A and B are shown apart, each in its own frame.
Chain A
Amino acid sequence: MLVFGWGNRARGDDALGPLAIERLRAKLPATAPIEFLEDYQLLPEHALDLMGRARVLFIDASVTASAPFELSEPVAAVDSAWTSHALSPAALLKIHQSLRSGPVPPCTLLAIRGECFGLGEPLSPLAASNLEAAVTWALGWLSETGESTRTFVIN
């Protein structure tokens, strides 16, 4: 199982993804069958990180999601990249599929509502509250027993 959060920790609420990873990592036992990954943004080579996963949880800040967070199940799809290097989750899955890197794992996108993205700003109070709700939900999602995972105790 892979839990992948992204964002820039120096840009206010853009840090929601990395902070969620940090919180989850601290709350889960090191022996949990979960790999955590943090990056600035989704990039093509992250398609390789999806190889062989039973489930994937993507976590990002969102300016469009309803508070505290929205859930969706991204499916592989082409979308429009402009001059940015960054990809959407759907595009990443499409690349994974196109590269024939194995079956696309079941993916869930946890989009946490953010408000303020200023350089050097701390997490906004609303985003902090949204983060707590999102982490609580993620812990429940992660503790679900799947065929390829086992139950574990949350600290």
Chain B
Amino acid sequence: MAGRHTWAMVSSAMTDLAGSPASDALPAGLRRVAIDPLSRVEGHGKVTLLVDEHNRVQQARLHIVEFRGFEKFIEGRPYWEVPVMVQRLCGICPVSHHLAASKALDHVVGAVPVTRSATLLRRLMHYGQVLQSHATHFFHLASPDLLFGFDAEASRRNIMAVAETSPDIARRGVLLRKFGQEVIRATAGKRVHGTGSVPGGMNRHLSREDRALLHEGLPAMIDWAEEAVDLVARLHAEQPGLYTRFASFRSNLLSLVGVDGSLELYDGVIRARDAAGCILLDGVSDQACLELLEEEVKPWTYLKFPYLKSLGPEQGWYRVGPLARIQNCDFIGSPRAEARRQAFLALGQGEPVHASLAYHWARMIELLHCLEMIATLLADPALLAGDLMAGGERQRAGTGVIEAPRGTLIHHYEVGDDDLVTRCNLIVSTTHNNRAMNEAVCAVAREYLDGQTLTDGLLNYIEVAIRAYDPCLSCATHALGRMPLELTLIGPAGAVLDRLRRSAEGRIERPGTALELERAR
């Protein structure tokens, strides 16, 4: 392993838009917008705001990368390749795809349930995945906004500035993520492109050496996770108005829960609550989850909009992810995280908390839960020995549902007699949260857009709102020179009123020429 150290040593030391949106899909009085083809490069973040004649924001459109084409990429491949191949979907949560595919294909090979050892090893791997992703998200992406304020200049709102001013926080973030990566390496075999989970089970046990290494690091990690929950709770307490109001809107909540109603990240049944916290549906098998959902297509984006079929697109959309999970469940099965959850729930005064920024708080509660669960699992001898593979009668299809760091992740496969995948359907967390992210951006724009001029401040606020959901941009390429954010304001007649662009280097650019504005239209 590269740069391997003991924990003691370490501690000391988009994208694009459809080109021809139908005008009848637009609200009355608003015009369609097409984006400059030059910007059709994966990895751009693009936000379009549509305002009416009174400069009120009527609609926000967040255009982000989707796995378009990935299903076709999988179809025609042997099913046993899929759990490894799908890891290329995402550089941030490849393990979630690895496990969701494995779970779906367990059904295809008739291995349901898989053995106890395999289940525990997969769970351990998944807790490592959620831990490392949550750590990166909070410490790397969110903490600069939260610690320095949303108005802080872009050059300060980054992990480097946190490392300068609060080196302990930055160091803990790095080491928590590193610990999660070590869990993944120990269970999947490698930090990247792991092969530990296969259809029907696992292909390796945890080694005694790795168990000892992870044991050594755990106490400090759990302490740091508790302090991270306290930190985000304190930030909420210091500015309750801002944290409650910012990008807040009511929505349904959807997630897996355990059959006993506990918080469940790896395997369970589907539950959904309405905005008031009343259960809409519960106990739905993961194999039936696709029957619950439909996906609405909008003409301006490739990213679909899922909703509960029974409620329709306007009433049936929902949020997924940490905020949904810790409020959808009845309890968390690990004591420290459950105590923190109870404190969090008090914020809602009997109703679910709907503030977008509360995602960060919920995320840190889950991070603590992951560490507690890792501690519990490491004590189980079934990680070190026991049957790894199960089998049974071949089936033609299977669905795997898992709670990935950003929310519910669904993989569905159909496999022919020749073992080749004939159909692949993936619904990822970012897609589930598509409507919610647009609502969050809209809420922020309605509050902070003043007139017809886009400001650096508004760009900042929109970034903060989007970061709460952590949309998956990581399936995009990461070649040098990419990843800007572009904000466009469109008037009621379809005219581009303003554009603002932040380059990957942090420069704010305002295309000012008539030609550039015309191209943006």
Contact = CB atoms under 8 A, between A and B. Distances in A.
B451 interface: no
Interface string B452-477: 00000000000100110011011111
B479 A60 contact: yes
B45 to A, nearest CB: 6
Contacts of B473: 83-84
Given A7-B479, A8-B88, A64-B480, A83 B10 contact: no
Contacts of B475: 8
Interface string B15-48: 0000000000000000000000000011101000
A5 B3 CA distance: 15
Interface stretch (A23-31, A32-40, A132-140, A142-150): A32-40
Contact of A9 (B88, B178, B191): B88
A109 to B, nearest CB: 8
Contacts of A13: 479
Contacts of B395: none
Contacts, number: 181
B143 to A, nearest CB: 11
Given A119-B69, A119-B70, A48 B160 contact: no
Interface string B168-189: 0011011101100100000000
A63 B3 contact: no
B5 A39 contact: no
Contacts of A35: 2-3
A2 B2 CA distance: 9
B91 interface: yes
Given A45-B177, A98-B170, A81 B159 contact: yes
Nearest to B144: A81
Contacts of B158: 78-81, 91
Interface in A32-77: 35-45, 47-51, 60-65
Contacts of B2: 2, 35-37, 49
Contacts of A60: 478-480
Interface of B: 2-3, 5, 10, 13, 41-43, 45, 67-70, 72-73, 85, 88, 91-92, 94, 136-137, 139-141, 154-155, 158-161, 163-164, 167, 170-171, 173-175, 177-178, 181, 191-192, 463, 466-467, 470-471, 473-485, 502-506
5 contacts: A11-B88, A14-B477, A40-B474, A48-B174, A95-B174
